[in-house]
Structure 1
Amino acid sequence: MRKVIDRTGSRSRDKLLAAVTELLEERESTDVTITDVVARAGVTRPTFYAAFADLPDAFTQAALGRLSEAFADERDLDVQPAERAAVMGAAIGRILQRLEHHAEFFARVQRGPSGYAVQMQIVDYVARELRENTPVSIPLAEGPLPVDITSSALAAGAVWMMLAWIAENPRPPVDVIATRIRDFIYHTVFGGLGAPN
């Protein structure tokens, strides 16, 4: 996807993102058009193209906005080793609870034309969080492989579990999937990818 230089004001971009998000809450991404988005946002079509390359780009940015909201205030590096698993499990549970409120939104984006791009952007986002803001950040940085590789591998696995959980019907309880993701990350890092050479 090409890089877009946003020439719109942040207010117009915010209106467009809000419109995209609202529309994806209401219907499948394949049923959302640029005409729908600009009408909902109250802006012109050129304003849309000044902010986004295309609809898949707008869908991706809306999904990343929702993901960022879910991760808000969940940054914790300074955790005693004995508390790591509990702190991680609680944080993952809170993130998943926030995401579950928007499960159909994420499922619609995932099923649409931007599904793969969204998934890759979510993996990048989660990998960055693992590298920078979690109890596994320091052990990953000290591990035998480059931290960008290990964090991306962990993020890909965690995101796959999260997206599979969102798509399930009925969906298992949050605490079940939070424990699975926590155990996957924790046991892969401690004694695994986070072990010194």
Structure 2
Amino acid sequence: MSEKMDRRQARSKQLMREALLSILEEKSIEGITVTDIANRADINRGTFYLHYRDVADMLDQMKDEAFEQIRNRILQLNPKELMVYADRNEPYPKITLIFEEVERQAGFFKVMFGPHGDVSYINRFKASMETQIFNNLSYAQPQEENRLVPLEFLISYMASANLGVVLHWLQSGMKQTPLELSAIMTNLMNYGPLTSSGLRIETPKIESRKRSNHI
């Protein structure tokens, strides 16, 4: 009986989350009520209050869960590992995992990064990226004199560029697979924009693999 109840509650929670996302495509969070969500999800208000205090609490929980899923994968990135895979002309698997998680929660991210989304939420991801990039670069290359540009500008550039790729992928219809995006990102991070654009010719770049090869 308990297992059946757990499944029912999980189903209700999923319906409410889907309802909130669909309403957020129409108006901002400030204009959404518990009744709006209950009606859209076809549940009663009491069911809503079993899980959340109010609409803001619901959205905060959703944002926190999605953020932690992505953040945990970002924490695993290692620039020296990336260079090894780039030298093999292979996408970096840990970047692939990030894009797979974004794809899994694409509906949520499209709404949160859309016109009725939350700019502060985007900045939260950027700040997390900046922290991890700083930690990685400080560990992998501690000598300031070996850097071509000041560290603070390098970190800001990399975080903004990486987040920009994710946003473009979401906003352009996600035509590429996570593996194809991983190849693109690995090339960009390893070779930089000038070489990636073809203005500076270097070694062959990683080929994006087709969806049929991505299991």
TM-score by shorter chain over 0.5? yes
1:177 is matched with 181
2:128 is matched with 125
1:138 is matched with 140
Structure 1 residues 144 and 105: alpha-carbon distance in aligned structure 2, compared to 1, 3 A threshold:
same
Which of 148, 155, 164 in structure 2 is aligned with 1:151?
A: 155
Residues 139-189 of structure 1: CA deviation (Å, up to 9, x unaligned): 387424443331121111111111110122252121222122222222239
Q: Distance in 2 between matches of 1:79 and 1:179?
A: 16
8 A Cα contact 2:113 2:119, kept in partner? yes
Query: Which structure is larger by alpha-carbon Rg, 1 or 2?
Result: 2
Structure 1 residues 82 and 157: alpha-carbon distance in aligned structure 2, compared to 1, 3 A threshold:
closer
Report deviation, 1:132. Answer: 2.1
Report deviation, 1:113. Answer: 3.5
The 5-angstrom pairing of residues 62-141 of structure 1 reads 62-63=62-63, 65-72=65-72, 74-77=75-78, 79=80, 83=84, 85=86, 89-133=92-136, 138-139=140-141
1:13 is matched with none
Q: Which segments of structure 1 move beyond 6 Å, counting only runs of 4 or more?
A: none
Report deviation, 1:137. Answer: 5.7
Q: Distance in 2 between matches of 1:175 and 1:184?
A: 14
8 A Cα contact 1:127 1:155, kept in partner? yes
Q: Distance in 1 between matches of 2:82 and 2:172?
A: 34
8 A Cα contact 1:140 1:150, kept in partner? no
Letter in 2 for 1:153: Y
Letter in 2 for 1:118: Y
Structure 1 residues 146 and 171: alpha-carbon distance in aligned structure 2, compared to 1, 3 A threshold:
same
Letter in 2 for 1:138: A
- The CA RMSD measured in Å over matched residues stands at 4.0
Residues 71-101 of structure 1: CA deviation (Å, up to 9, x unaligned): 4255254846851636972111111011101
Structure 1 residues 170 and 37: alpha-carbon distance in aligned structure 2, compared to 1, 3 A threshold:
closer
Identity %: 10
8 A Cα contact 1:127 1:152, kept in partner? yes
Aligned length: 163
8 A Cα contact 1:63 1:106, kept in partner? no
**SS of aligned partner of 1:72:** helix
Q: Given the two structures, how large is their TM-score scaled by the length of structure 1?
A: 0.61
The runs of 5 or more residues in structure 1 that have no matched partner are: 1-17, 192-197
Q: Distance in 1 between matches of 2:102 and 2:94?
A: 12
8 A Cα contact 1:89 1:179, kept in partner? yes
Letter in 2 for 1:63: K
